[in-house]
Structure 1
Amino acid sequence: MGHHRRLPRHRCDRQRQPCHRGPRHLGGPGGHGHRPGGGHPRAHGLQLLPGPAEAVPDGAGRLLPGVHQSFRTELHLSKRLPLSLDWEDWFQLCCPPYDQPEALDRFECRLPLATEHSLALCADLGATATWFCLGDQARRHPALLHRIAGAGHAIGLHGLTHRRAFEMDRGAWRASLRDGKALLEDLSGQPVVGYRAPEWSLRGVAADWWRDLPELGFRYDSSRVPLAVIGNPAAPRRPHLLTEGLWELPPPVLWSGPVRMPLWGWGPRVMPFSLVRRALETLALEDAGTPLVLHPWELDAEQPRLPGLSLGHRYTHSIGLRGYGGRLRELLDGFRLTSLEAWVDAQ
């Protein structure tokens, strides 16, 4: 991993407010050690990951023995974090009218720009990621898909369209996976063995549809999340075998008591830097296999605002976009970022 250009230091409130900027690089070449007392006591109702030699919660909320600074140096050199991107345009939400086929022609296409930003981010971090791609966008931008694959990234299926799985009947869903997988393999020139349903939608009537995935040629799923509303809070929080030859890789969640927050999407955009950084260190130290999740449109702060969204959708979609690319470069600096396929292959 090469050295990275030092980014401008964030300004913090002078009245002893917690600074949202954590250490840029904990250990490793050119890195800086942990500043004593740099941890926050609490934020957003969550138990924060404390400093060196203190107990830290794992991805399931249990307290683990302290992560000493020397181990933090080691984790950057040897442990990996799987990285994934959901390749969709800025307006492709799972709510009308943005989930309709005509939305592709109605709204400005910004996917090429967002893809360039995302490829640059991966290159800067030395990352090899899994890109979960939509078939409808692959048809429109085959050269972009070819560039992603040509940069050494793995290609997974995000769906033929951005329609939620449980909104289709099972036969139509199976057909969409067959067609989408064949399309992506033809355009990218590589096998597609991973699937992530739009909006984590293997739930409700589609909760057991994962059983069809091995027959359709998939080796892992990443469609179920341990959160309420968009998932099942009781679901396992770490990668696990669903059946022989099929892994489930849920995204990471932080929580304390009844409070749960996603460590993807809007979560890392608003949570204190040090909280997110230490959570990632814990995942890397354990080689947990819990995949990080990004969207190319999160690196496009100039995107227009979508009209007619609910307050919740508007908040989660647009909060914290400005400057997120630089924040991600600091958050992920020093980790060995790999594809989900690489993690599955190593098991």
Structure 2
Amino acid sequence: MTGAQAGGSAAAANQPEVSNMLTFDIEEWFHANYDNVVPDLSKGSSFRAHMDTLLRLCSEAGCKGTFFVLGCIGENYPDVVRAIADEGHDVASHGYGHELAYKQTYEEFKADVKKSVDILENLTGKPVLGYRAPSWSIVERNLHYLLALEELGLKYDASIFPVKTFLYGIPTAPTEIHKPRVNGRELDLFEVPMSVMKLAGRNMGYSGGFYFRFFPRFFIKQAIRSANRQGKSAIVYLHPREVDANEHQLDLPAKEHFIHYYNVRGTEAKLESIMKSFRFTSISEHLQRQHGLKW
């Protein structure tokens, strides 16, 4: 019995059918969307080491996940993308070059996603089923961009965060997996929104990125248990750079630096503990089992 099975059976004793979803946004340390920030690319990168860490953690915990990969990562690290697929994880699209979707025209967005999908499918020999926008950049004003994903034959989107921040979010968006409606029509596409909890009457993230680094381990575990007791699945998301406190950092203003880098030092151990305490799978496997996804 693996650590995930042992820990998961204890953590999910009241709701054994519920599995959570493990996701990673696969990009370099310098992929961000802050104005007037120009990274020094001559510094190099520890990207391969980060990916080795993530794949090792998944293997040790007996977890499968969804890796949302930039197309340019596929070009620069084809062996890494193949390794993700060879270990049984989903390879999904994160776009090509980490451009914000709401700063692209519809046609630019569609071409960007298609370019990334073509690169990833050529590398893995498997269909790309899903997409997540860089920095959660599907918002109310470009929600119709989901039509492009449907047109490209993708099966799900995981770009919507039902919160409101200065960078992203649709606070009124449904918090359950659903088929979104655009222009009065239900799309043949699942929307898999990021997990939120209610805090002081407002939606708040708890299980990914800054929220994962900010909240203590016991708090995140309790939030996941609470969701599972209600029959709901939680979604974890992180970036490769978040498991390495020694990776290069962007020169950001104080608030942005705090959001981007707070408590990176504790992320790997926290992630390992949570992965071994709950049942995790990929988004496509979850949709196949729970929502009848076929492809």
Is TM-score (shorter-chain normalized) higher than 0.5?
yes
1:264-279 equivalent positions in 2, closer than 5 A: 264-279=208-223
1:84 aligned partner, one-letter code: T
Aligned residue number for residue 283 of structure 1: 227
SS at match of 1:156: strand
SS at match of 1:85: strand
Is contact 2:93–2:116 with CA below 8 Å preserved after alignment? yes
Stretch of structure 1 that moved more, 204-213 or 191-200? 204-213
Alpha-carbon distance between aligned partners in 1 of 2:115 and 2:87, rounded to the nearest angstrom: 24
Following TM superposition, by how much is the alpha carbon of 1:304 offset from its aligned partner in structure 2, in angstroms? 2.4
CA deviation string 1:107-131 (max 9, x = no partner): 4222111101111111121110000
Is contact 2:21–2:234 with CA below 8 Å preserved after alignment? yes
CA deviation string 1:147-186 (max 9, x = no partner): 1110100011000110101111111111111111111000
Is contact 1:114–1:297 with CA below 8 Å preserved after alignment? yes
Aligned residue number for residue 2 of structure 1: 2
**1:337 paired residue among 267, 273, 280:** 280
Alpha-carbon distance between aligned partners in 1 of 2:175 and 2:102, rounded to the nearest angstrom: 22
Is contact 1:80–1:287 with CA below 8 Å preserved after alignment? no
Distance 1:153 1:312, change over 3 A: same
1:93 is the counterpart of 2:36: no
SS at match of 1:94: coil
2:288 aligned partner, one-letter code: D
Aligned residue number for residue 246 of structure 1: 189
**1:138 paired residue among 55, 71, 74:** 74
Aligned residue number for residue 201 of structure 1: 137
Alpha-carbon distance between aligned partners in 1 of 2:82 and 2:9, rounded to the nearest angstrom: 36
Compute the RMSD of aligned alpha carbons. 2.2
1:232 aligned partner, one-letter code: I
Is contact 1:87–1:131 with CA below 8 Å preserved after alignment? yes
Q: Name the one with the larger helix percent.
A: 2
Aligned residue number for residue 9 of structure 1: none
2:217 aligned partner, one-letter code: F
Aligned residue number for residue 17 of structure 2: 78
Is contact 1:166–1:204 with CA below 8 Å preserved after alignment? no
Distance 1:298 1:313, change over 3 A: same
1:148-297 equivalent positions in 2, closer than 5 A: 148-229=84-165, 230-242=168-180, 243-263=186-206, 264-297=208-241
Following TM superposition, by how much is the alpha carbon of 1:94 offset from its aligned partner in structure 2, in angstroms? 1.0
1:326 aligned partner, one-letter code: A
Aligned residue number for residue 47 of structure 1: none
Q: What runs of 5+ residues in structure 1 fail to find an aligned partner?
A: 5-23, 29-70
Identity fraction in percent: 27
Is contact 2:162–2:203 with CA below 8 Å preserved after alignment? no
| Paired positions, count | 281
Aligned residue number for residue 35 of structure 1: none
Following TM superposition, by how much is the alpha carbon of 1:217 offset from its aligned partner in structure 2, in angstroms? 1.0
Aligned residue number for residue 59 of structure 2: 123
TM-score by length of 1: 0.75
Is contact 1:253–1:260 with CA below 8 Å preserved after alignment? yes
Distance 1:295 1:140, change over 3 A: same
Is contact 1:195–1:221 with CA below 8 Å preserved after alignment? yes
Aligned residue number for residue 311 of structure 1: 254
Alpha-carbon distance between aligned partners in 2 of 1:279 and 1:304, rounded to the nearest angstrom: 31
Structure number with greater Rg is 1
SS at match of 2:13: helix
CA deviation string 1:76-126 (max 9, x = no partner): x4320011100011121112455x7xx594442221111011111111211
CA deviation string 1:283-306 (max 9, x = no partner): 334442442212111111111232
Aligned residue number for residue 34 of structure 1: none
1:23-38 equivalent positions in 2, closer than 5 A: 28=10
Aligned residue number for residue 15 of structure 1: none
Alpha-carbon distance between aligned partners in 2 of 1:118 and 1:83, rounded to the nearest angstrom: 11
TM-score by length of 2: 0.88
Distance 1:205 1:256, change over 3 A: closer
